Amino acid sequence: MNWNVIAENAPLYLAGTKLTLFLAFTSLAISFLLAVPLAFLRNNERPGLRYAVSAYTLLFRGTPLLVQLFLIYFGLAQFGLIRQSFIWPWLSSPLVCVLVAFVMNTTAYSTEIFAGALRSIPVGELEAARAYGLPKRKQATRILVPAMLTRSLPLYGNEMIMMLHATSLASTVTLLETTGVARRITLDNYIQFEPYVTAAGIYLSITFVIITAFQIVQRRFAGYLEPRSA
Amino acid sequence: MVTDFSVSILAAGSTTLLLALCSIVLATAIGLAGAFAKLSESRTLRRTASVYTFVIRGIPDLVWMLLVFYSLPSLLNQMADAIAWDIHFEFPPIGAAIATLGLIFGAYMTETFRTALLNIPKGQVEAALAYGIPRTRIFLAIILPQLTRLALPGFTNNWLVLAKATALASLIGLHDVMFRAKGAAEATSMPFTFYLVAAGFYLSVTLCSMIGLSYVAKRSSAGQKELAR
């Protein structure tokens, strides 16, 4: 066993873990801001809007994230128009491509989670809001959005963990996040066991922290939705 | 040229589908065992099953694949060396991929089947036991038909995620759709075209599965709906 190689490379793992967390939480934060309005559009009365959003979520939920990432990172270079445009310096950076792919992907999943929660809100809550004469905006911000978010908590917690795990794909486009670091150490030191096991341990610990945090948040904010014990 | 490469990419669809089907069979078997373990009276079995689902779901698919394909043989070889046993372990990519996906989705299936089993009224099994029906027949005639119906939504979901997760096997060198697409992308200067072909393949698998499984769902809950009405 060669655990001293891992100890020597601890700073690399630390940097990798930081990048993993940065990728996961940046993607989640941006996608949250996009998914909330998209969830409303997904349930819009106008079929055109509804279908447009469902087409987007179907495309991104129906294909592997790896394909989406490669389409953006390797694929876009095929078009001269894009290569000559002002956005190329950004699109040729792996970090930007990874973030774009992750945001598009996780927004599709989050939109469906939120839209499903929105449909499950009892009609009475909205009727009460209307009866009190709340303007449309306030119905949304005071009643619908909070109810939608608390109802989404368990599924959204899963999606956060999925996103955390999906960041490991960033290693396929040269980024040195946790998995990338492990891969590099295996190549530099000709050891196959310890680096990946260390990476696995790091992901397991972060997942554990997220799950525990979510349980606390859920008990605090969504406790009223739990089935009552007699 | 585009056609030739596209045909070669889609031809690898058989490898992708073979991987997906073998993995789902393995995952279903593990999931059933895991669900019964989680609901069993033995504390050790329950603990083992919980640790299994937690550890599997806490580590990314890609890392699992690398662990099974690279780390596990390396560990086995080190152990073989230590006891001076002259053998060299190396897994074929398809075997490693089936084992990995089977193990990962076995954990998700465990949760799916556990919830489904909990939703089968306990009295039915108790009545069957009281009548002295053997356990295997209780499982086949009473539990299994209801389990199929109750677990189907979760099963469908797991299958859709699994079908897409097979793309990761290209990273350990399995010649699947994604691997061929990468080959075509690198051989030509048209990466977008060929990754789009791959995306189309996965999308059609998703769509066909959704249609097929919703038909199965309709069939298996046919009697159910009449009763509810």
Counting beta carbons within 10 angstroms of the beta carbon of residue B79, is it exposed (0 to 12), middle (13 to 18) or buried (19 or more)?
exposed
- Residue B103 confidence (pLDDT): 96
- Residue A224 confidence (pLDDT): 82
B118 is written with which tokens?
């909990």
- Residue B229 confidence (pLDDT): 43
Q: Is the backbone of residue B84 left (phi > 0), alpha (psi -120 to 50) or beta?
A: left
Alpha-carbon span B5 to A218, nearest angstrom? 50
Nearest Cβ partner for B75 among A77, A171, A193: A193
Identify from A63, A177, A191 which residue to disrupt to test chain B contact, counting B C-beta atoms within 10 A and taking the largest count. Answer: A63
Shortest distance, CA B158 to any CA of chain A (angstroms): 13
Level-2 CATH architecture, domain A3-221: Orthogonal Bundle (1.10)
Answer whether B75 touches A (CB < 8 Å): yes
Coil, strand or helix at B188: coil
Q: Which long-range contacts (CB under 8 A, 24 or more apart) does B153-157 make?
A: B153/B217, B154/B108, B154/B109, B154/B111, B154/B112, B154/B115, B154/B116, B155/B28, B155/B109, B155/B112, B155/B213, B156/B209, B156/B210, B156/B213, B156/B214, B156/B217, B157/B112
Q: Does residue B156 form part of some domain?
A: yes
Q: Does residue B228 form part of some domain?
A: no
Q: Does residue B169 form part of some domain?
A: yes
Nearest Cβ partner for A63 among B75, B164, B193: B164
Q: Does residue B11 form part of some domain?
A: yes
Q: Enumerate the domain spans of chain A.
A: 3-221
Which chain A residues are closer than 8 Å to B61 by Cβ?
A: 165, 168
Cβ–Cβ of A75/B60 closer than 8 Å? no
Range name among A12-16, A49-53, A188-192, B29-33 with the lowest pLDDT average: A188-192
Q: Does residue B152 form part of some domain?
A: yes
Identify from B192, B204, B205, B210 which residue to disrupt to test chain A contact, counting A C-beta atoms within 10 A and taking the largest count. Answer: B192
Select the highest-mean-pLDDT range: A42-56, A84-98, A212-226, B82-96.
A42-56
Average pLDDT of chain A to the nearest whole number: 92
Answer whether B51 touches A (CB < 8 Å): no
- Residue A78 confidence (pLDDT): 87
Say if residue A88's pLDDT is above 80: yes
Q: How many domains does chain B have?
A: 1
- Taking 70 as the pLDDT cut, the residues of chain B under it are 223-229
Alpha-carbon span A83 to A72, nearest angstrom? 13
State the CATH number of the domain containing residue B95.
Answer: 1.10.3720.10
Are B109 and B117 in contact by the 8 Å Cβ rule? The answer is no
- Residue A154 confidence (pLDDT): 86
Cβ–Cβ of B192/A65 closer than 8 Å? no
Cβ–Cβ of B66/A196 closer than 8 Å? yes
User: Which of A167, A157, A208, A174 has the alpha carbon at shortest distance from A21?
Assistant: A167
Q: How much of chain B exceeds pLDDT 70, in percent?
A: 97
Say if residue A106's pLDDT is above 50: yes
For A206-222, write each residue's pLDDT tens digit: 999 999 999 899 888 88
Chain A residue with the nearest C-alpha to that of B79: A1
- pLDDT band for A5, please (50, 70, 90 cuts): confident
Q: Does residue B229 form part of some domain?
A: no
Cβ–Cβ of A196/B55 closer than 8 Å? no
Answer whether B67 touches A (CB < 8 Å): yes
For B96-132, write each residue's pLDDT tens digit: 999 999 999 999 999 999 999 999 998 999 999 999 9
- Residue B87 confidence (pLDDT): 81
Cβ–Cβ of B190/A199 closer than 8 Å? no
Backbone angles phi, psi at A135, to 5 degrees: -65, 155
Backbone angles phi, psi at B173, to 5 degrees: 90, 15
Q: Does residue B199 form part of some domain?
A: yes
Alpha-carbon span B189 to A224, nearest angstrom? 57
Positive or negative, the Cα torsion across A178, A179, A180, A181?
Answer: positive
Identify from B62, B91, B204, B205 which residue to disrupt to test chain A contact, counting A C-beta atoms within 10 A and taking the largest count. Answer: B62
Residue corresponding to tokens 């559009």: A41
Q: Does residue B215 form part of some domain?
A: yes
- pLDDT band for A36, please (50, 70, 90 cuts): very high
Q: What is the mean pLDDT of residues A97-111?
A: 97
- pLDDT band for A230, please (50, 70, 90 cuts): low
What range defines the domain where residue B12 resides? Answer: 2-223
Measured at the alpha carbon of residue A35, what is the angle toward residues A33 and A36, in degrees to the nearest 5? 75
Nearest Cβ partner for B58 among A67, A196, A204: A204
- pLDDT band for A229, please (50, 70, 90 cuts): low
